[in-house]
């Protein structure tokens, strides 16, 4: 934890536009954390413990949580497992709207899992300073499932599920093809709401 806080840190968060990727990512992280607190009470307790440790450490230095850049109070890491290449392509598009891109490659067959993946995160120094949130994302490789019966069952189930709502796909399309000035603050709210449904 840094002992000195840059004086101009708050300038990074002044009046963000609704569709600014860093702002969208921060809103998404906050909403995701709140959802996890509701779904998994022990998660909320864990966050509280972390905040207590931070508070105690800062107080010993004559500081408080308010002295930390706001990014220090955001979650740093999430994870999701996807089932198909189509789902991976769609989530790549969603994360790009939030300023997150694939970094690194992980072949989990080396540890006995029929998965491979990557971590989606910001890439520029400025975006990392604002919010370094990353999502470790894996996708199933049916060809590595040894049991034909299990492989067929998994493929059948995945062929019928829809993780991404039609409204979310519409918003992603708009963000990719429209001038962001044409997208409203309410559209940004809808993007966050629809995105959370994937992680429920």
Residue 25: enclosing H or E segment and its boundaries? Answer: helix 21-39
* pTM confidence score: 0.81
Thinking of the domain 19-199, which architecture would CATH place it in?
Answer: Roll (3.10)
- H/E stretch holding 48 reads helix 41-59
Residue closest to 85 by CA, chosen among 137, 153, 121: 137
C-alpha triplet 189, 124, 92: angle, nearest 5°: 50
pLDDT digits (tens, 9 = 90+) for 50-100: 888 888 888 888 887 777 776 676 677 889 999 999 999 999 999 999 999
- Domain coordinates of the chain in residue numbers? 19-199
- What count of other Cβ atoms lies within 10 Å of the Cβ of residue 39? 11
């Amino acid at each position: 934890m840094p002992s000195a806080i840059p004086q101009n840190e708050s300038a990074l968060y002044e009046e963000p536009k609704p569709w600014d990727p860093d702002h969208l990512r921060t809103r998404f992280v906050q909403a995701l954390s709140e959802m996890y607190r509701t779904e998994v009470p022990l998660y909320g307790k864990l966050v509280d413990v972390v905040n207590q440790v931070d508070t105690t450490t800062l107080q010993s230095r004559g500081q408080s949580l308010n002295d930390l850049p706001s990014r220090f109070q955001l979650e740093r890491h999430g994870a999701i497992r996807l089932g198909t290449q189509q789902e991976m392509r769609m989530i790549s598009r969603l994360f790009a709207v939030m300023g997150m891109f694939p970094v690194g490659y992980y072949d989990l067959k080396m540890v006995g899992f029929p998965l491979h993946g990557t971590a989606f995160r910001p890439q520029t120094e400025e975006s990392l300073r604002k919010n370094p949130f990353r999502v470790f994302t894996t996708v199933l490789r049916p060809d590595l499932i040894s049991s034909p019966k299990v492989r067929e069952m998994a493929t059948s189930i995945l062929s019928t599920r829809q993780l991404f709502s039609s409204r979310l796909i519409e918003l992603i399309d708009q963000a990719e093809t429209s001038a962001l000035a044409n997208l409203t603050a309410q559209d940004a709210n809808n993007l966050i709401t629809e995105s959370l449904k994937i992680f429920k």
